[in-house]
Structure 1
Amino acid sequence: MSRRLVPALLAATLLGGGLAGCSAPTAPAARPAAPPEPPRATTPAPRVPAGTAPAETFGVGVRQLKLTRDGDRTLPVTLWYPARGDTGGPAQRGVAAAAGRFPVVMFSHGLGGRPDDYATLLTRWAAAGFVVAAPTFPHTSRGADGNVLDVLNQPADVSYALDKVLALDGAAGDALRGRLATDRVAAAGHSAGGVTTIGLFTTGRDERLDAGVVFAGTALGVGTAFAGAAAPQLFVHGEADEVVDYAAGRAVYDAVPWPKAMLSLPKGDHGRALLSDGAALRVVADATVEFLRWTLYGDAAAKKRLATDAARDDIATLDNHL
Structure 2
Amino acid sequence: MRVQRLVAALLVALVAGCGPAVAATDDHVPSFRPAPPRPYAVGVRQFVVDPDGSRPLPVTVWYPAEPTTPPAATSGAVSAGPVPRPDAPVAGGRFPVVVYSHGLHSLPALHAPLTTRWAAAGFVVAAPAYPRTNLRARDFTRADVRNQPADGWRLIRHLVRLDARPGNPLAGHLAVDRFAAAGHSAGGFTTAGMFTSGHSPRLRAGIVIAGGGLAGSFAGPVAPLLFVHGGADPIVPESVGRAAYARSLGPAAFLSLPGQGHGEYLTPGRPGFAQVLATTTDFLRWTLYDDRRARDRLPADAFLPGVTILTTRALSR
TM-score band w.r.t. shorter chain: 0.7 to 0.9
In structure 2, relative to structure 1, the CA distance for the partners of 1:15 and 1:95 (3 Å cut) is closer
d(CA) in 2 for partners of 1:13, 1:95: 37
d(CA) in 1 for partners of 2:15, 2:37: 48
Task: Spell out, residue by residue over 1:154-184, the C-alpha distance to the aligned partner (whole angstroms, 9 max, x if none).
Answer: 0010110111122222111111121111111
2:25 is equivalent to residue 65 of structure 1: no
d(CA) in 2 for partners of 1:315, 1:122: 22
2:38 is aligned to 56
1:82 is aligned to 64
Aligned-pair Cα RMSD in Å: 2.4
Give, in angstroms, the shift of residue 312 of structure 1: 3.6
In structure 2, relative to structure 1, the CA distance for the partners of 1:212 and 1:11 (3 Å cut) is closer
1:309 is aligned to 301
**Structure 2 letter corresponding to 1:116:** A
Q: Is the 8 A contact 1:199 1:205 kept in 2?
A: no
In structure 2, relative to structure 1, the CA distance for the partners of 1:50 and 1:182 (3 Å cut) is closer
Moved over 4 A (4+): 2-5, 12-16
Query: Of residues 130, 135, 154 in structure 2, which corresponds to 1:160?
Result: 154
Q: Is the 8 A contact 1:51 1:299 kept in 2?
A: no
Q: Is the 8 A contact 1:120 1:277 kept in 2?
A: no
Task: Spell out, residue by residue over 1:284-317, the C-alpha distance to the aligned partner (whole angstroms, 9 max, x if none).
Answer: 1111000000000000100011110100464211
d(CA) in 1 for partners of 2:136, 2:5: 15
d(CA) in 2 for partners of 1:168, 1:50: 18
Query: Of residues 78, 82, 100 in structure 1, which corresponds to 2:93?
Result: 100
Percent sequence identity over matched residues? Answer: 48
In structure 2, relative to structure 1, the CA distance for the partners of 1:180 and 1:223 (3 Å cut) is same
In structure 2, relative to structure 1, the CA distance for the partners of 1:113 and 1:187 (3 Å cut) is same
1:202 is aligned to 196
Query: Of residues 276, 293, 302 in structure 1, which corresponds to 2:285?
Result: 293
d(CA) in 2 for partners of 1:297, 1:171: 24
Query: Of residues 135, 138, 158 in structure 2, which corresponds to 1:142?
Result: 135
d(CA) in 1 for partners of 2:110, 2:220: 32
Q: Is the 8 A contact 1:117 1:275 kept in 2?
A: no
Give, in angstroms, the shift of residue 99 of structure 1: 1.1
Query: Of residues 114, 121, 132 in structure 2, which corresponds to 1:128?
Result: 121
SS in 2 for 1:296: helix
Q: Is the 8 A contact 2:193 2:217 kept in 1?
A: no
1:109-258, aligned counterparts within 5 Å? Answer: 109-144=102-137, 145-202=139-196, 205-219=199-213, 222-223=214-215, 225-258=217-250
In structure 2, relative to structure 1, the CA distance for the partners of 1:13 and 1:193 (3 Å cut) is closer
Give, in angstroms, the shift of residue 283 of structure 1: 1.1
**Structure 2 letter corresponding to 1:123:** T
TM-score by structure 2 length?
0.84
In structure 2, relative to structure 1, the CA distance for the partners of 1:98 and 1:51 (3 Å cut) is closer
d(CA) in 1 for partners of 2:4, 2:100: 21
Q: For structure 2, which runs of at least 5 residues remain unmatched after alignment?
A: 18-30, 75-81
**Structure 2 letter corresponding to 1:242:** P
TM-score by structure 1 length?
0.83
Aligned residues: 287
2:311 is aligned to 319
d(CA) in 1 for partners of 2:171, 2:16: 46
d(CA) in 2 for partners of 1:58, 1:99: 11
Q: For structure 1, which runs of at least 5 residues remain unmatched after alignment?
A: 17-48
SS in 2 for 1:73: coil
Q: Bigger radius of gyration, 1 or 2?
A: 1
Q: Is the 8 A contact 2:130 2:148 kept in 1?
A: yes
